[in-house]
Structure 1
């Protein structure tokens, strides 16, 4: 258990001669983030432009200077962010002289670079990714990622970040798990998500201040067509059509069977697309005390109003200045400890028939958030045995019922 009151941060500028200059006493507004859709991490801070060796500090910390951010919690320092100064903005005013910087890690170069890449048939994911890292001078660290053979592929003037994403997506279509790419200690690591050994727990009674949910059908896929191999004398043929929740309308994706795919493999890959994108997406935002060691791709456990279980961190923002942290997480589809029940009782994950009536924002609330809700199917997402309103339900079809909150025992049935 980490005592957040003991968390301390340090910022170092790595000078050309290798000296690590501790600039922490002059630093203000430190923060860093790993965005959900970003390959590179980003961090920024403002520095008092004090004298260093007879010159303003801004003449020492300038564009392309390496910066390392560390954190500790009563023990040894650990690197939590590192990169180079990309934006440099000195300010000179009557009240204060300071300058601000924005830094990115080395993966930023991949986000900003285009290239032509030819992937030979049979090239493994590991070889293809490491070739990109090597060509851009990024040292390889741990590789625990996929190594699926790829079909012959030519990328023309594509951003390297997009090429990397496409290679991982292709590996996933052929049975690989999900992975995260991130820098640590100056090396790039390819790691499985949710593989962290230390799983931190967040609770609204302790280290969480706010939580919120967003459910969206914007990226929903309800149909996938498998298109057969092209032949010179024939049109491309539809080999299979897989339907999902078409009650939301037809939102179609095409899976083109490549030369190294069998029909069964192509159909399996299409089904995987439906499995992953065939449900409305739920993203939960959690804000609380900063734990600087949390990174994108980590597994955490959270107990809040709308979530009580394990989650994957999709993106994280650390605000060291205010000692707070905001995470966007995906709730994992598993029963949290303490919520599992005997087979003849209700359990988390059960789809039930809500009879209609009231729901509440919290399991302890006296006043209902909504009354006269219509009946319909809903999913049990949290159980708090002994609470005033012990079951948290989320609707399955908005057209049937809008239930999204805590309800009383006896207000639903199987």
Structure 2
């Protein structure tokens, strides 16, 4: 229960506390103290009827106590600039669903402050708005927990004295917020640690973030529209990603009748007016996802068209992940050998590169090399369900036909 509240309510509660007390450090520490108190008391005293309200009240008390104990320091500490009406509203509200959307948007835009690098802004938003652990954020950015913790601390300090408001001109921050949302979505569907196959609640929060962003933009933004379509297409598969035994199910093996047709229909309706728009990263990724959605099976997917989309994407966004995903598509379109050749240009830390190489080696009949690659991937993988899937594939390699290859774009 408490873990669910943390994932669903952290950003909402933190936004209210920031609006009321105007200090990010106090708000975050007070809320963390409240969750620690809940972890101790709820198992003994029972869960309160309104958990979020209990946490908000407890956090407020902890913050007031700390402010009293550091009164001299507080006078010198730069405060966030918060409109008086917002502060009064934050003092009054007691966590009703949907009531504090604007405050969460203010928190997102604060984290996307121009003084922060995009990576720092994304990391800080994942931590503060969506409650993603520092360790998992580090894995997303291919950094250690200690390095990411230090980066988050520096980012918080840079925001001292900043403005907690929705700026009149959103253009400078929209791209950062979009990156933040997609990174959060990735954290939901590619968890770095833990037992969850997927974290659909976190992905759903990222989708809600994009919907809020679209609602406040003065005019439509094709890339934000494309990002929402991309997320909906990926999110529509969530039920099919988990098998009856609770294990991870990769794209080629998913029961496509379990995909959410309402979300697919919404995504395709968003994409239709963008069909002839100028190529852009989110749009190209959404079009790739649509190819998977429109095909009855992995075998009938238009892989050559997907390769062409990836070629376009590389001209705009040449990253190791894009190259890895392109190699998978090349293998499906032109054979495992061609896919292995495409992998030669990929340099990517972590388990995904050796995992893809293992599957291609297996399909090429190079079983001993595949077993070694699976072992390397297993050693590097810290996500329980993915590690179990890799181990199953390695153990079943001899005496079974080659497994289907999964594309790593969710």
What TM-score results when the alignment is normalised by the length of structure 2?
A: 0.26
For the pair shown, which has the larger CA radius of gyration, 1 or 2?
A: 1
Q: Which has the higher strand share?
A: 1
Q: Which has the higher helix share?
A: 2
